[in-house]
Amino acid sequence: MNQQFLEALKTILNEEQWKEQEPMKLHTTFRVGGSADLLVTPDLVQLPSVIKLCKLHQMPYTVIGNGSNLLVGDKGIRGVVIVCGKPAEEISFDGAHMTVGAGTMLAKAANAAAEHSLTGMEFAAGIPGSVGGAVVMNAGAYGGEMKDIIESVKVLDLDGKEHVLSLQELDLSYRHSCIPEHGYIVTEATLCLERGDMQQIRDTMEDYRNRRAEKQPLNYPSAGSTFKRPEGYFAGKLIMDAGLKGYTVGGAQVSEKHAGFVVNIGDATAADIKQLMQDVSDKVKEQYGVVLEPEVKMIGEF
Ligand SMILES: Cc1cc2nc3c(=O)[nH]c(=O)nc-3n(C[C@H](O)[C@H](O)[C@H](O)COP(=O)(O)OP(=O)(O)OC[C@H]3O[C@@H](n4cnc5c(N)ncnc54)[C@H](O)[C@@H]3O)c2cc1C
Protein backbone atom coordinates (compact mmCIF):
# COMPACT_ATOMS: atom_id res chain seq x y z
CA MET A 1 0.00 0.00 0.00
CA ASN A 2 1.20 3.48 -0.97
CA GLN A 3 3.05 4.89 2.09
CA GLN A 4 2.20 8.52 1.28
CA PHE A 5 -1.47 7.60 1.19
CA LEU A 6 -1.22 5.74 4.51
CA GLU A 7 0.58 8.62 6.21
CA ALA A 8 -2.06 11.08 5.02
CA LEU A 9 -4.83 8.73 6.13
CA LYS A 10 -3.34 8.59 9.62
CA THR A 11 -3.88 12.34 9.93
CA ILE A 12 -7.65 11.76 9.41
CA LEU A 13 -8.31 8.50 11.28
CA ASN A 14 -7.41 7.17 14.71
CA GLU A 15 -5.34 4.03 15.01
CA GLU A 16 -8.35 1.85 15.82
CA GLN A 17 -10.17 3.06 12.69
CA TRP A 18 -7.97 1.27 10.17
CA LYS A 19 -6.60 -2.24 9.73
CA GLU A 20 -4.22 -3.58 7.09
CA GLN A 21 -4.73 -7.07 5.62
CA GLU A 22 -8.11 -7.42 7.32
CA PRO A 23 -9.87 -10.78 6.63
CA MET A 24 -13.23 -10.01 5.03
CA LYS A 25 -14.72 -13.17 6.53
CA LEU A 26 -14.92 -11.11 9.73
CA HIS A 27 -17.10 -8.56 7.98
CA THR A 28 -19.53 -10.74 6.00
CA THR A 29 -22.43 -12.89 7.21
CA PHE A 30 -21.26 -15.66 4.82
CA ARG A 31 -18.04 -15.74 6.92
CA VAL A 32 -16.10 -16.00 3.66
CA GLY A 33 -13.56 -13.82 1.87
CA GLY A 34 -9.85 -13.06 1.63
CA SER A 35 -8.20 -9.98 3.09
CA ALA A 36 -8.80 -6.36 2.22
CA ASP A 37 -5.55 -4.44 1.68
CA LEU A 38 -6.92 -1.89 4.11
CA LEU A 39 -10.24 -1.61 5.97
CA VAL A 40 -11.27 1.72 7.45
CA THR A 41 -14.21 2.75 9.63
CA PRO A 42 -14.47 6.54 9.36
CA ASP A 43 -17.28 8.40 11.07
CA LEU A 44 -19.48 10.58 8.88
CA VAL A 45 -17.43 13.71 9.59
CA GLN A 46 -14.19 11.97 8.48
CA LEU A 47 -15.75 10.19 5.50
CA PRO A 48 -15.55 13.06 2.92
CA SER A 49 -11.82 13.56 3.70
CA VAL A 50 -11.19 9.82 3.23
CA ILE A 51 -12.98 9.91 -0.15
CA LYS A 52 -11.00 12.96 -1.28
CA LEU A 53 -7.74 11.32 -0.21
CA CYS A 54 -8.57 8.13 -2.12
CA LYS A 55 -9.31 10.22 -5.19
CA LEU A 56 -6.06 12.20 -4.85
CA HIS A 57 -4.00 8.99 -4.64
CA GLN A 58 -6.14 7.14 -7.20
CA MET A 59 -6.80 4.51 -4.54
CA PRO A 60 -9.78 2.27 -5.39
CA TYR A 61 -12.33 1.90 -2.60
CA THR A 62 -15.33 -0.32 -1.87
CA VAL A 63 -18.07 0.67 0.56
CA ILE A 64 -19.80 -1.99 2.62
CA GLY A 65 -22.45 -2.01 5.32
CA ASN A 66 -22.97 -5.11 7.45
CA GLY A 67 -21.75 -7.46 4.69
CA SER A 68 -25.02 -9.42 4.73
CA ASN A 69 -25.48 -9.46 0.96
CA LEU A 70 -21.88 -9.97 -0.08
CA LEU A 71 -19.70 -12.76 -1.43
CA VAL A 72 -16.08 -11.57 -1.20
CA GLY A 73 -13.53 -13.43 -3.35
CA ASP A 74 -10.89 -15.65 -1.73
CA LYS A 75 -8.09 -13.36 -2.94
CA GLY A 76 -9.65 -10.45 -1.09
CA ILE A 77 -10.13 -6.82 -2.05
CA ARG A 78 -7.49 -4.52 -3.45
CA GLY A 79 -7.46 -0.94 -2.21
CA VAL A 80 -9.58 0.34 0.65
CA VAL A 81 -12.76 -1.11 2.11
CA ILE A 82 -14.82 1.56 3.80
CA VAL A 83 -17.32 0.53 6.46
CA CYS A 84 -19.74 3.39 6.79
CA GLY A 85 -19.66 4.93 10.26
CA LYS A 86 -22.40 6.33 12.46
CA PRO A 87 -23.28 9.97 13.07
CA ALA A 88 -23.16 11.31 16.62
CA GLU A 89 -26.96 11.25 16.71
CA GLU A 90 -27.75 7.92 15.08
CA ILE A 91 -31.56 8.23 14.97
CA SER A 92 -33.70 11.34 15.26
CA PHE A 93 -37.42 12.01 14.92
CA ASP A 94 -39.52 14.86 13.58
CA GLY A 95 -43.15 13.82 13.96
CA ALA A 96 -43.56 10.69 11.84
CA HIS A 97 -40.27 11.32 10.03
CA MET A 98 -37.25 9.38 11.19
CA THR A 99 -33.67 10.21 10.14
CA VAL A 100 -31.14 7.38 10.48
CA GLY A 101 -27.40 7.12 9.83
CA ALA A 102 -26.33 4.70 7.09
CA GLY A 103 -24.26 2.58 9.49
CA THR A 104 -27.19 1.93 11.83
CA MET A 105 -28.58 -1.60 11.75
CA LEU A 106 -32.11 -1.96 10.35
CA ALA A 107 -33.24 -3.88 13.45
CA LYS A 108 -32.18 -0.99 15.68
CA ALA A 109 -33.98 1.52 13.44
CA ALA A 110 -37.13 -0.63 13.33
CA ASN A 111 -37.12 -0.98 17.12
CA ALA A 112 -36.71 2.78 17.53
CA ALA A 113 -39.66 3.36 15.18
CA ALA A 114 -41.76 0.93 17.27
CA GLU A 115 -40.79 2.74 20.49
CA HIS A 116 -42.17 5.94 18.92
CA SER A 117 -45.37 4.12 17.85
CA LEU A 118 -44.45 4.59 14.19
CA THR A 119 -45.59 1.96 11.72
CA GLY A 120 -44.23 1.10 8.24
CA MET A 121 -40.85 -0.36 9.11
CA GLU A 122 -41.92 -3.65 10.66
CA PHE A 123 -40.85 -5.60 7.53
CA ALA A 124 -37.21 -4.57 8.09
CA ALA A 125 -36.80 -5.72 11.68
CA GLY A 126 -35.36 -9.15 10.78
CA ILE A 127 -33.18 -8.11 7.83
CA PRO A 128 -29.56 -8.25 9.10
CA GLY A 129 -28.29 -5.25 7.14
CA SER A 130 -27.43 -1.61 7.73
CA VAL A 131 -29.69 1.25 6.66
CA GLY A 132 -27.16 2.21 3.93
CA GLY A 133 -27.09 -1.32 2.52
CA ALA A 134 -30.89 -1.50 2.67
CA VAL A 135 -31.24 1.71 0.64
CA VAL A 136 -28.76 0.46 -1.98
CA MET A 137 -30.52 -2.92 -2.24
CA ASN A 138 -34.06 -1.57 -1.77
CA ALA A 139 -34.31 -4.33 0.82
CA GLY A 140 -37.75 -5.77 1.41
CA ALA A 141 -39.75 -8.57 3.00
CA TYR A 142 -43.33 -9.56 3.80
CA GLY A 143 -44.83 -7.15 1.28
CA GLY A 144 -42.82 -4.10 2.41
CA GLU A 145 -39.70 -2.53 0.93
CA MET A 146 -37.50 0.49 1.58
CA LYS A 147 -39.12 2.23 -1.41
CA ASP A 148 -42.39 2.45 0.59
CA ILE A 149 -40.85 4.43 3.46
CA ILE A 150 -37.92 6.45 2.08
CA GLU A 151 -38.47 10.18 1.81
CA SER A 152 -34.92 11.22 0.93
CA VAL A 153 -31.35 10.02 1.25
CA LYS A 154 -28.09 11.89 1.81
CA VAL A 155 -25.15 10.68 -0.28
CA LEU A 156 -21.54 11.63 -0.98
CA ASP A 157 -20.43 11.67 -4.60
CA LEU A 158 -17.03 10.59 -5.97
CA ASP A 159 -15.58 13.99 -4.97
CA GLY A 160 -16.83 13.63 -1.39
CA LYS A 161 -19.52 16.27 -2.03
CA GLU A 162 -22.91 15.86 -0.32
CA HIS A 163 -26.22 15.60 -2.21
CA VAL A 164 -29.76 14.92 -1.06
CA LEU A 165 -31.63 12.50 -3.34
CA SER A 166 -35.40 12.33 -3.45
CA LEU A 167 -37.27 9.02 -3.61
CA GLN A 168 -37.73 9.50 -7.38
CA GLU A 169 -34.03 10.21 -7.94
CA LEU A 170 -33.08 6.99 -6.14
CA ASP A 171 -34.85 5.02 -8.89
CA LEU A 172 -35.73 2.15 -6.55
CA SER A 173 -37.10 -1.11 -7.90
CA TYR A 174 -36.80 -4.77 -6.92
CA ARG A 175 -33.34 -5.02 -5.23
CA HIS A 176 -32.12 -2.02 -7.25
CA SER A 177 -31.22 1.63 -6.72
CA CYS A 178 -29.22 4.18 -8.71
CA ILE A 179 -26.53 4.37 -5.98
CA PRO A 180 -23.96 1.88 -7.44
CA GLU A 181 -24.08 3.27 -10.96
CA HIS A 182 -23.13 6.77 -9.69
CA GLY A 183 -20.60 5.51 -7.13
CA TYR A 184 -22.48 7.33 -4.36
CA ILE A 185 -22.03 6.55 -0.67
CA VAL A 186 -25.21 6.66 1.39
CA THR A 187 -24.67 8.52 4.67
CA GLU A 188 -28.20 9.05 5.98
CA ALA A 189 -31.83 8.24 5.18
CA THR A 190 -35.00 10.06 6.15
CA LEU A 191 -37.96 7.73 6.38
CA CYS A 192 -41.60 8.71 6.34
CA LEU A 193 -43.65 6.50 8.70
CA GLU A 194 -47.16 6.69 10.11
CA ARG A 195 -48.61 6.80 13.59
CA GLY A 196 -49.69 3.37 14.78
CA ASP A 197 -50.33 1.25 17.81
CA MET A 198 -47.09 0.33 19.61
CA GLN A 199 -48.22 -3.12 20.71
CA GLN A 200 -49.52 -3.99 17.25
CA ILE A 201 -46.24 -2.85 15.66
CA ARG A 202 -44.25 -4.98 18.11
CA ASP A 203 -46.52 -8.00 17.54
CA THR A 204 -46.09 -7.73 13.77
CA MET A 205 -42.30 -7.54 14.12
CA GLU A 206 -42.33 -10.55 16.41
CA ASP A 207 -44.50 -12.48 13.95
CA TYR A 208 -42.08 -11.72 11.06
CA ARG A 209 -39.08 -12.72 13.18
CA ASN A 210 -40.76 -16.01 14.11
CA ARG A 211 -41.61 -16.73 10.50
CA ARG A 212 -37.96 -16.19 9.55
CA ALA A 213 -36.71 -18.48 12.31
CA GLU A 214 -39.15 -21.16 11.18
CA LYS A 215 -38.38 -21.01 7.45
CA GLN A 216 -34.80 -19.76 7.13
CA PRO A 217 -31.51 -21.54 7.98
CA LEU A 218 -30.47 -18.88 10.48
CA ASN A 219 -28.13 -21.30 12.27
CA TYR A 220 -25.69 -21.28 9.32
CA PRO A 221 -23.75 -18.35 7.83
CA SER A 222 -25.37 -17.12 4.61
CA ALA A 223 -26.16 -13.97 2.68
CA GLY A 224 -29.92 -14.48 2.65
CA SER A 225 -31.65 -15.25 -0.66
CA THR A 226 -28.90 -16.15 -3.10
CA PHE A 227 -30.86 -15.38 -6.27
CA LYS A 228 -33.39 -12.73 -7.17
CA ARG A 229 -36.99 -13.79 -7.65
CA PRO A 230 -37.41 -14.46 -11.39
CA GLU A 231 -40.63 -12.96 -12.74
CA GLY A 232 -43.49 -15.41 -12.26
CA TYR A 233 -41.45 -17.89 -10.18
CA PHE A 234 -39.81 -18.36 -6.79
CA ALA A 235 -36.08 -19.11 -6.97
CA GLY A 236 -36.22 -21.42 -3.93
CA LYS A 237 -39.05 -23.53 -5.41
CA LEU A 238 -37.30 -23.88 -8.79
CA ILE A 239 -34.10 -24.97 -7.03
CA MET A 240 -36.00 -27.42 -4.83
CA ASP A 241 -37.96 -28.83 -7.78
CA ALA A 242 -34.67 -29.30 -9.65
CA GLY A 243 -33.68 -31.67 -6.85
CA LEU A 244 -30.90 -29.44 -5.58
CA LYS A 245 -31.80 -29.18 -1.88
CA GLY A 246 -28.69 -30.26 0.01
CA TYR A 247 -26.50 -30.04 -3.12
CA THR A 248 -22.96 -29.42 -1.86
CA VAL A 249 -19.71 -28.05 -3.28
CA GLY A 250 -16.89 -28.10 -0.70
CA GLY A 251 -18.22 -26.22 2.33
CA ALA A 252 -21.11 -24.58 0.43
CA GLN A 253 -24.57 -26.12 0.39
CA VAL A 254 -28.05 -25.40 -0.93
CA SER A 255 -29.85 -25.23 2.41
CA GLU A 256 -31.88 -28.30 3.36
CA LYS A 257 -34.30 -25.98 5.14
CA HIS A 258 -34.82 -23.35 2.42
CA ALA A 259 -33.48 -23.99 -1.09
CA GLY A 260 -33.36 -20.23 -1.79
CA PHE A 261 -30.41 -19.95 0.61
CA VAL A 262 -26.84 -21.09 0.05
CA VAL A 263 -25.22 -21.75 3.41
CA ASN A 264 -21.65 -22.12 4.63
CA ILE A 265 -21.69 -25.47 6.40
CA GLY A 266 -18.01 -25.51 7.30
CA ASP A 267 -15.03 -23.76 5.87
CA ALA A 268 -16.61 -22.80 2.57
CA THR A 269 -14.46 -20.77 0.21
CA ALA A 270 -15.83 -18.10 -2.08
CA ALA A 271 -14.86 -20.39 -4.97
CA ASP A 272 -17.08 -23.17 -3.50
CA ILE A 273 -20.04 -20.81 -3.23
CA LYS A 274 -19.51 -19.33 -6.70
CA GLN A 275 -19.23 -22.80 -8.26
CA LEU A 276 -22.36 -23.99 -6.45
CA MET A 277 -24.28 -20.92 -7.63
CA GLN A 278 -23.16 -21.59 -11.20
CA ASP A 279 -24.20 -25.26 -10.98
CA VAL A 280 -27.60 -24.32 -9.56
CA SER A 281 -28.18 -21.69 -12.29
CA ASP A 282 -27.16 -24.14 -15.03
CA LYS A 283 -29.44 -26.90 -13.72
CA VAL A 284 -32.46 -24.59 -13.31
CA LYS A 285 -31.90 -23.11 -16.78
CA GLU A 286 -31.60 -26.60 -18.27
CA GLN A 287 -34.73 -27.96 -16.54
CA TYR A 288 -37.05 -24.94 -16.55
CA GLY A 289 -35.53 -22.48 -19.04
CA VAL A 290 -35.44 -19.84 -16.28
CA VAL A 291 -32.33 -17.71 -15.79
CA LEU A 292 -31.48 -17.10 -12.13
CA GLU A 293 -29.79 -13.78 -11.43
CA PRO A 294 -27.68 -13.52 -8.25
CA GLU A 295 -29.06 -11.23 -5.55
CA VAL A 296 -25.80 -11.64 -3.63
CA LYS A 297 -23.16 -9.12 -4.77
CA MET A 298 -19.78 -10.59 -5.65
CA ILE A 299 -16.90 -8.28 -4.89
CA GLY A 300 -13.10 -8.52 -4.79
CA GLU A 301 -10.82 -11.01 -6.51
CA PHE A 302 -11.85 -14.66 -6.90
C1 LIG B 1 -30.26 -14.39 7.08
C2 LIG B 1 -30.45 -13.28 6.07
C3 LIG B 1 -31.73 -12.86 5.74
C4 LIG B 1 -31.93 -11.84 4.81
N5 LIG B 1 -33.21 -11.45 4.51
C6 LIG B 1 -33.40 -10.47 3.63
C7 LIG B 1 -34.74 -10.03 3.31
O8 LIG B 1 -35.72 -10.52 3.86
N9 LIG B 1 -34.88 -9.04 2.40
C10 LIG B 1 -33.80 -8.45 1.78
O11 LIG B 1 -34.01 -7.54 0.97
N12 LIG B 1 -32.55 -8.83 2.05
C13 LIG B 1 -32.31 -9.82 2.96
N14 LIG B 1 -31.03 -10.22 3.24
C15 LIG B 1 -29.91 -9.61 2.51
C16 LIG B 1 -29.28 -8.36 3.16
O17 LIG B 1 -29.46 -8.39 4.58
C18 LIG B 1 -29.85 -7.06 2.59
O19 LIG B 1 -29.59 -6.96 1.20
C20 LIG B 1 -29.29 -5.81 3.28
O21 LIG B 1 -30.01 -4.69 2.88
C22 LIG B 1 -27.80 -5.59 2.99
O23 LIG B 1 -27.33 -4.59 3.88
P24 LIG B 1 -25.81 -4.56 4.34
O25 LIG B 1 -25.62 -3.37 5.20
O26 LIG B 1 -25.41 -5.85 4.92
O27 LIG B 1 -25.10 -4.31 2.95
P28 LIG B 1 -23.80 -5.04 2.37
O29 LIG B 1 -24.08 -6.48 2.17
O30 LIG B 1 -22.61 -4.67 3.16
O31 LIG B 1 -23.71 -4.33 0.94
C32 LIG B 1 -24.70 -4.55 -0.04
C33 LIG B 1 -24.45 -3.58 -1.19
O34 LIG B 1 -24.66 -2.25 -0.75
C35 LIG B 1 -23.47 -1.45 -0.88
N36 LIG B 1 -23.44 -0.56 0.28
C37 LIG B 1 -23.60 -0.91 1.59
N38 LIG B 1 -23.62 0.20 2.36
C39 LIG B 1 -23.46 1.26 1.52
C40 LIG B 1 -23.42 2.68 1.70
N41 LIG B 1 -23.52 3.25 2.91
N42 LIG B 1 -23.26 3.47 0.62
C43 LIG B 1 -23.13 2.91 -0.62
N44 LIG B 1 -23.16 1.59 -0.86
C45 LIG B 1 -23.33 0.78 0.20
C46 LIG B 1 -22.32 -2.45 -0.98
O47 LIG B 1 -21.25 -1.93 -1.72
C48 LIG B 1 -23.00 -3.61 -1.69
O49 LIG B 1 -23.04 -3.36 -3.08
C50 LIG B 1 -30.80 -11.23 4.18
C51 LIG B 1 -29.51 -11.64 4.53
C52 LIG B 1 -29.32 -12.65 5.46
C53 LIG B 1 -27.93 -13.06 5.84
At 294, which CATH number?
3.90.78.10
201 vs 1, residue with greater confidence: 201
Using a 10 angstrom Cβ sphere, with 0-12 exposed, 13-18 middle and 19 or more buried, the burial of residue 15 is exposed
pLDDT at position 2 over 90: no
Rounded percentage of the chain residues whose pLDDT exceeds 90 = 97
Mean pLDDT, residues 175-196: 97
Q: Which of these three, 173, 201, 229, is where a domain ends?
A: 201
Q: Whose CA is nearest to atom 9 of ligand 1?
A: 140
Mean pLDDT, residues 125-130: 96
What confidence score (pLDDT) does residue 1 get? 77
Question: What domain range is 50 assigned to?
Answer: 3-83
Sign of CA dihedral 116, 119, 121, 123: positive
Q: Where are the beta strands (DSSP E) in the chain?
A: 18-23, 35-40, 61-64, 70-72, 77-83, 91-94, 97-101, 118-119, 140-141, 144-145, 150-156, 162-166, 185-192, 194-195, 222-225, 248-249, 252-254, 261-264, 297-299
Q: Looking at the CA of residue 128, tell me the nearest atom of ligand 1.
A: 17
Per-residue pLDDT tens for 59-97?
999 999 999 999 999 999 999 999 987 666 689 999 999
| CA 129 – ligand 1 centroid, Å | 5
**Beta carbons within 8 Å of 174's beta carbon, 6+ residues apart:** 138, 140, 228, 229
Q: Give the DSSP H or E segment for 10.
A: helix 3-10
Residues 193 and 112 reside in one and the same domain? yes
- Tell me which residues have their CB closer than 6 angstroms to ligand 1: 29, 63-70, 84, 102, 127-130, 132-134, 136-137, 139-141, 179-180, 185-186, 216, 218, 222-224, 297
Within a 10 A sphere around the Cβ of 10, how many other Cβ atoms? Answer: 12
Q: Which of these three, 171, 201, 231, is where a domain ends?
A: 201
How far, in Å, CA of 193 to CA of 234, rounded?
A: 30
What confidence score (pLDDT) does residue 162 get? 96
How far, in Å, CA of 137 to CA of 74, rounded?
A: 23
Mean pLDDT, residues 281-300: 97
Residues 226 and 289 reside in one and the same domain? yes
Q: How many domains does the chain have?
A: 3
Residues 163 and 226 reside in one and the same domain? no
Residues 67 and 150 reside in one and the same domain? no
Residues 114 and 174 reside in one and the same domain? yes
Mean pLDDT, residues 146-154: 98
Return the best residue to mutate from 39, 40, 43, 64 for the ligand 1 pocket (most ligand atoms within 8 A of CB).
64
Of 34-43, 83-92, 221-230, 285-294, the least confident: 83-92
What confidence score (pLDDT) does residue 84 get? 84
Polymer length of the chain: 302
Cβ–Cβ under 8 Å, residues 64 and 23: no
Q: Which of these three, 57, 83, 109, is where a domain ends?
A: 83
Mean pLDDT, residues 10-36: 96
Task: Work out the mean pLDDT of the chain and round it to a whole number.
Answer: 96
Residues 107 and 35 reside in one and the same domain? no
Mean pLDDT, residues 199-208: 98
Residues 128 and 79 reside in one and the same domain? no
What confidence score (pLDDT) does residue 87 get? 65
